[in-house]
């Protein structure tokens, strides 16, 4: 929320491998999900305000972030805590922030007090020993504001290492006028989607229902939706399994559509942005911040207003499911000299009313406080006034909660990008691509010293 949290950056395998080399301590043990202690009916801002502790020591905190629109929330926090000042250091994204954070953790100096970290990258930063457990500073009291599975993504070996922020469930953005022009219905299933993709391209070879990108967060989110769970933390250690029927099904589905010409395979953002601007795609799979930070930035606000969003198509409508494309958290580093104040800022930035009110077309909070926020379900100016968060609030509840991130997730993303493209271009089969990812990730995992469970 409050800005593009995830899609503008990607962490390469090289960064992930480097982080494995700077591991500190005994490693990253198993995660345990936190118990759900509240619902949207009992959780409200009054309770949040009452739980906020007092703080009177004069300190200045350094905060590294790529969050947009930081001014209002910083001013609101400094009004509540006038003795704490926030020094904000803006980064273009995780691709510039993470290497610097890795370097400062390794050197033992120069790290910020508070830092934004993507959910999928959090485990590997915990593994470095550079992040501080937050439970001793009162953060555990705020577990009740989040669904247990989201809170659990920030817990490792019973310790909390971050405060979760936004949810990035995938929706189906579409152009109503063009769907009507070609007499197409919103697809409720992926089978219907494929059928309409073929029909549309037959009617007009110059337009497509969407495109296929074998790289990046969307394909990973679609795999997540289908039940793909490459990492599972078990009592016997981390279970790693990329070669699954669900993964094969999803990849073959999209590769088949691309090879038949029903959808183009595109990996260049320049090409994708051009085709968006010329209305060559009738739909677009993406998270809540897509209109403001993808569409408006590439095709302009006026054209963005022509788009709407709907529920994502399903493999099995009787059991709806969705996947995430990212999500972010706020952590405190072990180098902070003011961990209690830093924890307060991490909590406030992700849960306070001024923070959630400032969504403005940029995302959706993961907390139960969203519906308690005036205007939360209001019109999104970037989608012609559609109250899009009603759609994403429903999708958030359909996200497969068994999915887990691991210390090797970002490294796996980099390997997948290469292997999935090779499979899509016919250099290898889908199964061979997944087997190659499996071998590469297991090889790296074995160097970490963490226990691995048999497949």
Residue 83 and residue 55 in contact, taking contact as beta carbons nearer than 8 Å: yes
Residue 381 lies in a domain: no
Q: Within this chain, do residues 185 and 264 fall inside the same structural domain, yes or no?
A: yes
- Any bridge partners for residue 265, and if so which? 212
Longest Cα pair distance anywhere in the chain, in angstroms? 68
In a domain? residue 310: yes
Residue with the larger pLDDT of the pair 59 and 326: 59
Q: What is the DSSP secondary-structure string of 266-314?
A: ---HHHHHHHHHTT-BSEEEE-TTHIIIIIHHHH-HHHHTT-EEEPPPB
For residue 232, is it within any domain?
Answer: yes
> Looking at the structure, do residues 205 and 306 belong to the same domain, yes or no?
yes
pLDDT over 90 at 354, yes or no: no
Domain that holds residue 372: 13-167+326-376
pLDDT for res 69: 81
**CATH code, 291:** 3.40.190.10
Whole-angstrom distance, CA of residue 344 vs CA of residue 324: 27
Domain assignment present for residue 3? The answer is: no
Per-residue pLDDT, 290: 93
Q: Mean pLDDT across the stretch 100-117? A: 97
Tokens of 80: 């509540």
**pLDDT, mean over the chain:** 88
- Check residue 12 and give its pLDDT: 36
Q: End of a domain among 338, 359, 376?
A: 376
User: Is 283 found in the same domain as 197?
Assistant: yes
Q: Does residue 112 lie in a domain region? A: yes
* Same domain, yes or no: 263 and 117: no
Answer yes or no: do 123 and 74 share one domain: yes
**Do 330 and 297 share a structural domain?**
no
Q: Which two tokens stand for residue 429?
A: 């089969």
- The total domain count for the chain is 2
Q: Is 384 contained in some domain?
A: no
User: What is 236-266 written as a DSSP string?
Assistant: TEEEE----HHHHHHHHHHHHHHHTTSS-B-
Whether 67 and 186 map to the same domain: the answer is: no
Q: Give yes or no: residues 156 and 305 share one domain.
A: no
If you average pLDDT over each of 18-22, 249-253, 361-365, which comes out highest?
249-253
What is the Cα Rg of the chain in Å? 22
> How high is the pLDDT of residue 175?
98
pLDDT average, residue stretch 226-244: 95
Q: Confidence class of residue 23 from pLDDT cuts 50, 70 and 90?
A: very low
- The answer to whether the CB of 333 falls within 8 A of the CB of 109 is no
Same domain, 193 and 93: no
Q: What is the mean pLDDT of residues 365-376?
A: 84
Q: Are residues 152 and 301 in the same domain?
A: no
Q: Is pLDDT of 29 > 80?
A: no
One domain, residues 333 and 315? no
Residue 2, in any domain of the structure:
no
pLDDT digits (tens, 9 = 90+) for 81-103: 999 999 999 998 888 999 999 99
Q: Is the same domain home to 212 and 188?
A: yes
Q: Report yes or no on 6 lying in a domain.
A: no
């Amino acid at each position: 929320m409050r800005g593009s949290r995830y899609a503008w950056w990607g962490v390469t395998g090289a960064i992930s491998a480097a982080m494995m080399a700077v591991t500190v301590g005994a490693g990253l043990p198993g995660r345990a999900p936190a118990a759900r202690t509240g619902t949207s009916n009992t959780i409200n801002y009054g309770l949040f305000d009452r739980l906020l502790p007092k703080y009177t020591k004069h300190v200045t905190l350094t905060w590294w972030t790529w969050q947009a629109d930081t001014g209002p929330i910083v001013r609101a926090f400094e009004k509540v805590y006038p003795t704490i000042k926030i020094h904000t250091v803006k980064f273009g994204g995780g691709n510039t922030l993470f290497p610097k954070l890795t370097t400062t953790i390794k050197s033992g100096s120069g790290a910020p007090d508070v830092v934004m970290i993507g959910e999928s990258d959090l485990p590997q930063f915990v593994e470095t020993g550079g992040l501080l457990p937050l439970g001793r500073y009162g953060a555990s009291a705020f577990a009740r504001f989040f669904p247990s599975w989201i809170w659990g993504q920030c817990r490792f070996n019973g310790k909390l290492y971050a405060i979760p922020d936004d949810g990035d469930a995938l929706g189906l953005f579409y152009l109503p006028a063009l769907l009507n022009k070609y007499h197409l219905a919103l697809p409720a299933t992926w089978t219907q989607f494929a059928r309409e993709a073929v029909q549309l391209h037959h009617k007009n070879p110059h337009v497509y229902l969407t495109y296929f990108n074998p790289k990046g967060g969307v394909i990973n989110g679609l795999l997540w939706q289908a039940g793909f769970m490459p990492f599972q933390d078990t009592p016997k250690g981390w279970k790693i399994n990329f070669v699954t029927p669900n993964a094969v099904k999803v990849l073959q589905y999209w590769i088949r559509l691309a090879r038949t010409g029903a959808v183009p395979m595109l990996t260049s953002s320049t090409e994708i942005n051009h085709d968006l601007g010329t209305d060559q795609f009738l739909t677009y799979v993406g998270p809540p911040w897509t209109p403001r930070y993808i569409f408006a930035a590439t095709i302009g606000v006026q054209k963005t207003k022509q788009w709407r969003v709907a529920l994502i198509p399903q493999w099995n409508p009787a059991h709806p499911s969705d996947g995430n494309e990212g999500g972010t958290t706020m952590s405190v580093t072990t180098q902070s000299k003011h961990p209690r104040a830093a924890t307060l800022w991490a909590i406030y930035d992700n849960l306070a009313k001024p923070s959630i009110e400032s969504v403005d077309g940029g995302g959706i909070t993961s907390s139960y406080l969203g519906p308690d926020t005036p205007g939360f379900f209001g019109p999104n100016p970037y989608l012609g006034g559609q109250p899009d968060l009603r759609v994403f609030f429903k999708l958030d509840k359909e996200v497969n909660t068994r999915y887990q991130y691991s210390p090797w997730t970002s490294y796996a993303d980099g390997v997948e990008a290469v292997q999935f493209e090779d499979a899509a271009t016919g250099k290898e089969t889908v199964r061979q691509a997944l087997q190659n990812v499996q071998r590469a990730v297991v090889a790296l995992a074995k160097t970490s010293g963490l226990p691995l469970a048999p497949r």
